[in-house]
Amino acid sequence: MHGMMMDRPLKIIDILKFAEEVHPTQEIISRTLQNSIHTTNYGEIGQRARRMSKALVSMGIKLGDRVATLAWNGYRHFELYFAISGLGAVCHTINPRLSSEQLTYVVNHAEDKIIFLDLTFIPIVEAHLEKFPSTTKYVLMTDKENMPECNIPNVICYEDLIDRADSDYDWPEFPEDTASSLCYTSGTTGNPKGVLYSHRSTVLHALLACVTLSGSFAVGRKILPIVPLFHANAWGIPYSAPLTGTSLVFPGANLDGASVYDLLNQNKVFSAWGVPTVWMGLLDEIKNRGAKPEGLGEMIVGGSAAAKSLIEAFENMDVTVIHAWGMTETSPLGTTGKLTPPYTELPREQQINLKGKQGRKVFMVDLKITDDEGKILPHDGKSVGNLFCRGNTIAGGYFNNEEASKAVIDKDGWFGTGDVATIDEEGFLVLTDRAKDLIKSGGEWISSIDLENMVMAHPDVENCAVIAIPHEKWDERPLLVVVPAEGKKPSKEELIEHLSGHFAKWQMPDDVVYEDTLPLTATGKVSKLTLRQKYEKHILAS
Ligand code: AMP
């Protein structure tokens, strides 16, 4: 027997329409690229998003077309999230830190019809004009006064586009499983893989984030996503904030400790979200100034493991630290470490220990750990296994990439995260390792395999391995271990020169060490674990 309730499609634009009607005066504050502060609100953003959707339709954008952004966190980027998906097109958020090859790949693979870009990224686009589709159009996210001279042909000014359209526009109806946004994530090797979110998955994620992190979202509170809008939808903040009428503060391009401090302090931001690297920068700044930013009450940290010392330092300042785990493929919240009773009754030291774990699952996400044969392991806090997840907000495959899609879903339909973990009886997740051969530096991925393939092409190298070395500021940095060919010893400079042009500067190994042979595992693979243990304390050059 079917229930008799109405069946209305869940749509992202309804979040903005709700905020426009119910929380029109709640503010959206942005630091602009000109370093001034811009203030708007949900009422105005609703009107501007409507006009931008109408402008996009007049440019020929239709349901399913990909429209890209190459931009920092600011109000224009935020309104594009809604203007693009609202008309049924797909908002492809491009990570500007991708290498040239990866950038070329994602724009062509997504077949972006338009790229909206911040002024900062003009040189990147100019350098890729020949490599991007010839039909792609470009819009500079600025106003007439700040339009610069540039070599991008027929470039359009963002504010002109809005000015030309009126707000007499009704967002269309479409099914809730319609694609809404696309975010590429780096693979262990080869090209990035596109995670294609739907309206349904996004609205459900927005709801579950508000429920799970109920302290972060409320009218009268301000939230600052340091996590970029091009990283897994800024962890869902752009949707959960309007849903609850929470004010947003966007940091623009300045993510150093001093700039983040000033923005938090001036706006009395309550909750700020970011990777451990930015918190380390903020902590240094707090030490310099002798006090935490006024009003800061909570920080959400994820993307990499948060060190206990970092958690303790913020907790000592009465900033509640919530450690979260997730992935681009999980929308991204999978677990959070928000402590509830009875854990809040525990002695402080035990609470800090619990906060160092990756937390417990959020509603609608199921977790399992298995051995290498797929056998489910107990949640006893001791059994270490491959972490899988399942749910309405978890990717079921990758955009136009059958091979990668098949590889990542197990026979029972669970998504393989590539993380290795324990789960205890109370559901606390602890990540113990990463099966995927990747290094995470400042929240961004570096593929060890891609680096190794290129190093192996050097005539003086017999064998090599790239491993992750713990790093205080960046969490992890790559170290290149080289077995030179007989009678040769290529220098660090020579090897870096050999890699340059193929990788972004920040993806380059920080140092090179030499070995006569590489340690092997029982199955004959290079034992990176042995190398990681050996070089754990290696002092990197940078
Ligand atoms: P991304 O898709 O770029 O967001 O990366 C997701 C991956 O980042 C996960 O699979 C983990 O390897 C890592 N990660 C995310 N959050 C955490 C965390 N709290 N602790 C440790 N690793 C994390």
Residue 538: pLDDT over 90: no
185 is catalytic: yes
Collapsed DSSP state (helix, strand, coil) of residue 534? helix
Say what the pLDDT of residue 225 is: 98
The pLDDT tens digits for 298-309 are 999 999 888 888
Q: Which residues, at least 6 apart from 335, have a Cβ–Cβ distance to it below 8 Å?
A: 324, 325, 326, 358, 359, 360, 361, 362, 365, 367, 429
Tokens of residue 316, six digits: 């000592």
Q: How many CA atoms lie within 13 A of 511 on its CB side?
A: 15
Residue 157 CA to residue 124 CA, distance in Å, equals: 18
Give how far Cα 261 sits from Cα of 228, 248, 319, 377, Å. Answer: 17, 16, 14, 44
Tell me whether the omega of the peptide bond preceding residue 332 falls within 30 degrees of 0, making it cis: yes
Mean pLDDT (whole number) for 68-79: 98
The rounded radius of gyration (Å) of the Cα atoms in the chain is: 23
Question: Burial level of 367, CB count in 10 A (0-12/13-18/19+)?
Answer: buried
Q: Is the CB of 322 under 6 A from ligand 1?
A: no
Say what the pLDDT of residue 188 is: 67
Q: Is the CB of 207 under 6 A from ligand 1?
A: no
Give how far Cα 281 sits from Cα of 227, 266, 442, 473, Å. Answer: 14, 18, 11, 8
Residue 457: pLDDT over 90: no
Nearest to 432 by CA among 446, 418, 448: 418
Q: Is the CB of 239 under 6 A from ligand 1?
A: no
How many angstroms does the Cα of residue 208 sit away from the middle of ligand 1?
19
Tokens of residue 529, six digits: 């674990």
Q: Which residues, at least 6 apart from 515, have a Cβ–Cβ distance to it below 8 Å?
A: 481, 482, 483
Residue 434: pLDDT over 90: no
State the distance between the two ends of the chain, measured CA to CA, in whole angstroms: 65
Q: Which atom of ligand 1 is nearest to the CA of 444?
A: 3
Residue 140 CA to residue 413 CA, distance in Å, equals: 42
How confident is residue 58, by pLDDT bands cut at 50, 70 and 90?
Answer: very high
Nearest to 448 by CA among 462, 433, 464, 432: 464
Owner of token pair 């870096």: 496
Q: Which of 93, 440, 444, 452 is catalytic?
A: 440
Mean pLDDT (whole number) for 409-438: 93
59 dihedral zone (left: phi>0; alpha: psi -120 to 50; beta):
alpha
Q: Is the CB of 434 under 6 A from ligand 1?
A: yes
Mean pLDDT (whole number) for 348-356: 95
How many angstroms does the Cα of residue 110 sit away from the middle of ligand 1?
24
Mean pLDDT (whole number) for 167-181: 97
How confident is residue 450, by pLDDT bands cut at 50, 70 and 90?
Answer: confident
Say what the pLDDT of residue 453 is: 84
Of these ranges, 158-162, 164-168, 459-463, the one predicted with the greatest mean pLDDT is 158-162
Residue 281 CA to residue 304 CA, distance in Å, equals: 15
Say what the pLDDT of residue 89 is: 98
Q: Is the CB of 336 under 6 A from ligand 1?
A: no
Nearest protein CA to atom 15 of ligand 1, as residue? 303
Say what the pLDDT of residue 290 is: 96
Say what the pLDDT of residue 539 is: 76
Spell out a b/e string for 395-423, using b for 16 or more CB atoms within 10 Å of the CB, else e.
Answer: bebbbebeebeeebbeeeebbbbbbbbbb
Residue 542: pLDDT over 80: no
457 dihedral zone (left: phi>0; alpha: psi -120 to 50; beta):
alpha
Pocket test for ligand 1, best of 304, 358, 361, 369 (most atoms within 8 A of CB): 304
Q: How many CA atoms lie within 13 A of 160 on its CB side?
A: 9
Q: Is the CB of 184 under 6 A from ligand 1?
A: no
The pLDDT tens digits for 509-532 are 999 999 999 998 766 678 888 899
- CA 302, 304, 305 angle in degrees (round to 5)? 90
DSSP 120: G
Residue 187: pLDDT over 90: no
Tokens of residue 230, six digits: 């091009």
Range with the lowest mean pLDDT among 29-43, 47-61, 528-542? 528-542
Q: Which of 285, 329, 444, 452 is catalytic?
A: 329
Nearest protein CA to atom 22 of ligand 1, as residue? 304
Provide the residue type at 212 as one letter: T
Tokens of residue 31, six digits: 């630091």
Q: What is the pTM of this model?
A: 0.92
How confident is residue 472, by pLDDT bands cut at 50, 70 and 90?
Answer: confident
Mean pLDDT (whole number) for 8-25: 98
Mean pLDDT (whole number) for 65-76: 98
Q: Which of 40, 445, 452, 528 is catalytic?
A: 445
Residue 371: pLDDT over 80: yes
Say what the pLDDT of residue 310 is: 92
Q: Is the CB of 259 under 6 A from ligand 1?
A: no
> Chain-wide mean pLDDT for the chain?
95
Pocket test for ligand 1, best of 386, 387, 422, 431 (most atoms within 8 A of CB): 431
Strand partners, 336: 324, 360
Q: Is the CB of 233 under 6 A from ligand 1?
A: no
Q: Which of 185, 244, 328, 417 is catalytic?
A: 185
Overall residue count recorded for the chain in this entry: 542
CB 213 within 8 A of CB 300: yes
Q: Which atom of ligand 1 is nearest to the CA of 436?
A: 12
Q: Which residues, at least 6 apart from 127, have a Cβ–Cβ distance to it below 8 Å?
A: 100
Strand partners, 465: 481
The pLDDT tens digits for 115-154 are 999 999 999 999 999 999 999 999 999 999 999 999 999 9
